[in-house]
Amino acid sequence: MRLDLGREHLIIIGTSHGMLRWFVDDLPTDSVVLVEEPDVIRRRDVEALVGRLPFLSRVVPAEYQTGLDAAALLAREPGLAAARLVMPGMEYAVGAAARLAEALGLPGAGTAAADVFSDKHRMRLLATEAGLANPAFELVDDPAAATAFARRHGGRCVLKPTRRSGSLGVQILTDPDQVVASWAETATPAETPESTDRGLPTAVLVEQVLDGREHSVELLVADGEVIFGNVTDKRVQPGRRPVETGHTVPSLLPDGVRRELLDAATRLAGASGFRTGVLHSEWMVADGVPTLIECAARLPGDMITALISVAYECGFIEAYLRTLRGERPVLPARPTGGAAVEFLLAPPGTVTGVDGVRAARRVSGVLNVQLDVAPGATVGEVTNSLARSGHVLAWGADATEATAVAAKAADQIRIVTV
C-alpha cells in the first residue's frame, strides 16, 4: 500500500502501538495526526513516536474515551480541518471518530451507529428489534440478579462488560455459585495501557451460554452499501475465559451457512444505519441459526486484516482507508488461498527461555513469527487478548492447509516459565 495522502490528511484517534506498526512502510511522511488522551500521552511517552514513525506529523491531546466535543477540538486545533479521512484506532475511539468525521463532513460510521456498537447492551436491543437471533440477555446491577439469570438458564451464564474489548472481563460461568466471586472481574475490569486514567464507565450484561463454534464477519461498507464481505473461523480458549487463540480465512463453513452469516451481518449494519467503514461482528451458528455474539464498528484486531489481505491477495487496510476517503475500491469477490494465525499462550510465571522460533520460521508457508515476551518477563493467566505471548501467521493453498501450517509452526515454539 502507498496511499496518496498529503500532510496531516489522516486523523487516527487512539491506537495501540502495535497497530501503528501496520503503517510504517505504507503511509507518506507527516500524513497522520494522532489524537490521544493526555494521560495516555504522558504515561506511554506517545510524543516519542513522532520521531520514530515518519508518517506521524504530531500528537494532539484530547479527551475522547468518555465523550469527544468535536467542535471544541476543532476550535482549539483548526489545522485538523485539512484532514480528508478520520479513523478510530481502538474500540474506545469509535464514537469520537464518528463525531469528528461528521463535524468535518467526512465519511464515517455515523454517530448513532457508533454509539450502538460501543455498548453491548444497546447492540443487543438493536439486534432484537431487527429480528436477528440473540442469546437470552439481561442488564444487571448486582451479582444476585446475575445468579438468578443463571439459574433460569441451566445454571450457566456469560458475564461481560458492556463497554470493553479484547475479551476483557468476559467470563463463562458453569455454576451459579461462581457469580458472586467472579462479579468484580466483569463489573470493574482491569484497564489496558491504552485506557485513560479517568476510567471508562461500564455496566454488566449477563447472557445465555451458547454451544457451538464462533465465526466473525467483516464487512466493508461505503455509504450504507456493503462492498465486501468475509467470514472468518475463530478458535477460542476453552473454559471460563473465551480468549481467541486463532483465526482462519476463509471460513470452512458450507457456502449456504457462510451466506447466511453475511446476510445476518448485512441486516445488522442496515438496522443500525451504519454508513462507511468496517463492521466486525462475531456470531455463533446455534441450532442452525446465526446468533449474534458481539459487534464492533472498527477494523478487527488479532491479525484478521492481515489474513484477509493474504487470502484475497488484496490490500484490505488500504481499501478501508480509501473507503473512508469517499472512494469505492473493488476487492476480490473470492479468496485465492487461505491464511491463518495461531496465538502463543505461555504458562503463567517468569519467562526463563524461548525455544523453537527458528524451527517455526522454517515451516513452509509461515509468513511471520512474533514473540511478545522475552526472558525475565512475567506472564499471567490468559484472561484477555493482551495476555497472549505472540503469534504465528501462515498461508496455504486453502484454509485447511493454512490452519495446519500455523498449528505446526506454533507447536515448534516452547516458552519456558517458572
pLDDT attached to residue 340: 98
The residues spanned by each domain of the chain are: 10-106, 136-207, 210-336, 338-418
Q: What is the mean pLDDT of residues 151-165?
A: 96
Q: Which residue has the cell 467483516?
A: 218
- Whole-number pLDDT of residue 25: 77
Average pLDDT, the chain: 95
- Residue 191 pLDDT grade (very low, low, confident, very high; cuts 50, 70, 90): confident
Q: Which residues contact 382 (CB under 8 A, 6 or more apart)?
A: 237, 241, 243, 345, 388
Q: Does domain 210-336 have CATH number 3.30.470.20?
A: yes
- 115 phi and psi angles, rounded to 5 deg: -70, -40
Strands 171-173, 225-236: pairing is: unpaired
Higher pLDDT, 152 or 190: 152
CATH number belonging to domain 136-207 = 3.30.1490.20
What is the fold of 10-106? Rossmann fold (3.40.50)
Share of the chain above pLDDT 90, in %: 91
Whether the full predicted model's pTM is greater than 0.85, yes or no, is yes
Angle, nearest 10°, between helix axes 143-152 and 179-187? 120
4-25 pLDDT, tens digit each: 899 999 999 998 887 888 888 7
CA distance 41 to 255: 46
Bridge partners, residue 85, by sequence: 10
Q: Per-residue pLDDT for 2 more than 70?
A: no
Which class does domain 338-418 fall in? alpha beta
Contacts of 287 (CB under 8 A, 6+ apart): none
Model confidence pLDDT, tens digit, residues 312-354: 999 999 999 999 999 999 999 999 999 999 999 999 999 999 9
Residue 1: is its pLDDT beyond 60? Answer: no
Average pLDDT over residues 294-317: 96
Asked if 136-207 and 338-418 have one fold, the answer is no
pLDDT at 15: 85
The predicted pLDDT at position 247 comes to 98
Determine contact, residues 143/176, Cβ cutoff 8 Å.
Answer: no
Strand partners, 240: none
**Cis before 61 (ω within 30):** no
Cis previous bond, 250, omega within 30? yes
DSSP 3-state assignment of 87? strand
DSSP string, 305-331: HHHHHHHHTS-HHHHHHHHHTT-----
- Tens digit of pLDDT for each residue in 247-267? 999 999 999 999 999 999 999
Rounded CA-CA distance 38/25 in Å is: 27
The DSSP H or E segment spanning 181 is helix 179-187
